[in-house]
A and B are shown apart, each in its own frame.
With several copies, the nearest count.
Chain A
Amino acid sequence: MYSDKVMDHFNNPRNMGEIENPDAVGQVGNPVCGDIMKIYLKIKDNKIEDIKFKTFGCGAAIATSSMVTEMAKGKDLEEALKISNKMVAEKLDGLPSEKLHCSNLAADALQDAINDYLNEKDKENNVSEESNA
């Protein structure tokens, strides 16, 4: 059912775990649906220096999470934001059609994490601007 690539990432997930004191965290899904993906980022100079994931979900959910971390690592934020769920699925040599829409959300989790970071920075900037004022 799954491609060899999917099974490889499922079986040997890259970047699995948590980052202590992450610069940003993203999360999508909920336990009722059976899929939760959580992405942790360490960011330096606008680049993803480190990335980790934790996922509750099926084979596709775990493999896409692993793959997205591999794709994002080392990229700067603008580039990383361009990673789509479709690109992740393609990198995995495809996903079964019934999985394409339910478990293929890892890129969303990454974007959520990056946006979380950018929002925080915005706020900080606003705060500094304010104090400058």
Chain B
Amino acid sequence: MERIYFDNAATTPVSEEVFEAMKPYFTEKFGNPSSIYKEAQETAGAIAEAREKVASIIGSDDEREIIFTSGGTEADNLAIKGVAMARKKKGKHIITSSIEHHAVLHSCEYLEKNLGFEVTYLPVDENGFVNPEDVEDAIRDDTILITIMMANNEIGTIEPVAEIGAIAREHNIYFHTDAVQAVGKIPIDVNEMNIDLLSLSAHKLNGPKGVGALYVRKGVKLIPQMSGGAQERKRRASTENVPGIVGLGKAAELAAENMEEKSKKMAEMRDRLIEGIEDNIDEVILNGPRGDKRLPGNVNVCFRYIEGESILLNLDMNGVAASSGSACTSGSLDPSHVLLAIGLEHEVAHGSLRLSLGAGNTMEEVERFLELIPGVIDKLRMMSPLYEG
């Protein structure tokens, strides 16, 4: 039986087309794009092309606004630390939410610990939404940056970034959004949404691991966090990862094609999964909102009385790859900070399961999954001292 890969929010396979686009840049077209000879000019050209493609899928018409990085994490780090260091004379206060990815949260903590910044971590409601009014209320005279993610990686909540962007613009505060999970899934326009900085990562959209990008609106200053050579207009040093960048460009281009249609199909599978789980298993909690404000590929549920890692292991033995916000898989003692932030109790949060759909999934896989999940849950609940049956 073919395995079912339902962990596309963790990473995705490189698509064949993307790999074909990257291939020449390993052994043949290998020149360092900073040099001036023929071998270099062909890679410099390839990077320029990729830059335009990436700019275009987020609505930027100036490819110089794109800085290539080593991934979503570096993009988040550069945006937050870079802006903070550049604006620290103006103020040392940052606003973010309590359900951001660790790349954002730990960048904020780094600024708190090493550079004396203050950070406000806004709460979210039971579906994971940040309230734009809370953002406005949190603004102080010394607020220099607001960073709120576009869509949450665990529970799929799509945040009201356009509204938050407008508030930020009105107060002359830079607005960064971590769009790693959103790019290629929902429409994005940095101008309409008043976004000043935006992070994305190639391996979440069938591009390669180890490459991402930060959009930086023209005129927004930041202190480079990778110090060294003059690459990326002196904003990000290090020899360019040419095949990676080419792969990101191609992946962006492909993701943009028929995005609406593809997302609609994914949403159908998502809704069927939710329905099938809720209909056949009792004491299930859906985490995150229903409908349009949920990422089309995201399902996140808690099964009471059992623990997430054991669900994952059982699913793996049954041929399904998925993930959980249980403490055991997060590498800490607490379960996911996102699940706790939406108000779940620890013991419930331990039993979470995230299914994230991707380009390769089919409705047949969804049905196959729905066949097997009740048995897995049942087996574990039979073992659980918390379950009364």
Contact = CB atoms under 8 A, between A and B. Distances in A.
Q: Are chains A and B touching in the complex at the 8 Å CB cutoff?
A: yes
Interface of A: 1-2, 7, 10-11, 13, 16-17, 27, 31-38, 54-59, 61-62, 98-99, 102-103
23 contacts: A1-B36, A2-B313, A10-B313, A11-B314, A31-B347, A31-B386, A33-B327, A34-B335, A35-B307, A36-B385, A55-B384, A55-B385, A56-B385, A56-B386, A57-B307, A57-B310, A58-B310, A58-B326, A59-B309, A59-B313, A102-B328, A102-B333, A103-B328
B304 to A, nearest CB: 10
Nearest to B326: A34
A107 to B, nearest CB: 17
A52 to B, nearest CB: 11
Nearest to B327: A34
Contacts of A2: 313
A11 B317 contact: yes
Interface string B291-329: 000000000000001111110011001000000001110
Q: Which of B41, B335, B350, B382 has the most CB of A within 10 A?
A: B350
Contacts of B347: 31-32, 34
Nearest to A25: B385
What interface size band does chain B fall in? 20 to 34
A22 to B, nearest CB: 13
Interface in B341-389: 346-347, 350, 382-386
Contact of A31 (B36, B313, B328, B346): B346
A34 B350 contact: yes
Contact of B383 (A31, A34, A55): A55
A30 B310 CA distance: 17
B65 to A, nearest CB: 16
A interface majority secondary structure = mixed
Interface of B: 36, 41, 44, 305-310, 313-314, 317, 326-328, 331, 333, 335, 346-347, 350, 382-386
A62 B327 contact: no
Contacts of B307: 34-35, 56-58, 61
B54 to A, nearest CB: 21
Contact of B41 (A1, A27, A57): A1
Given A11-B317, A31-B347, A58-B328, A36 B36 contact: no
Nearest to A40: B385
B385 to A, nearest CB: 4
A78 to B, nearest CB: 27
B310 A59 contact: yes
Given A31-B350, A34-B347, A102-B333, A58 B309 contact: yes
Contacts of B333: 33, 102
B327 A36 contact: no
Contacts of A10: 310, 313
Contacts of A34: 307, 326-328, 335, 346-347, 350
A2 to B, nearest CB: 8
A127 to B, nearest CB: 30
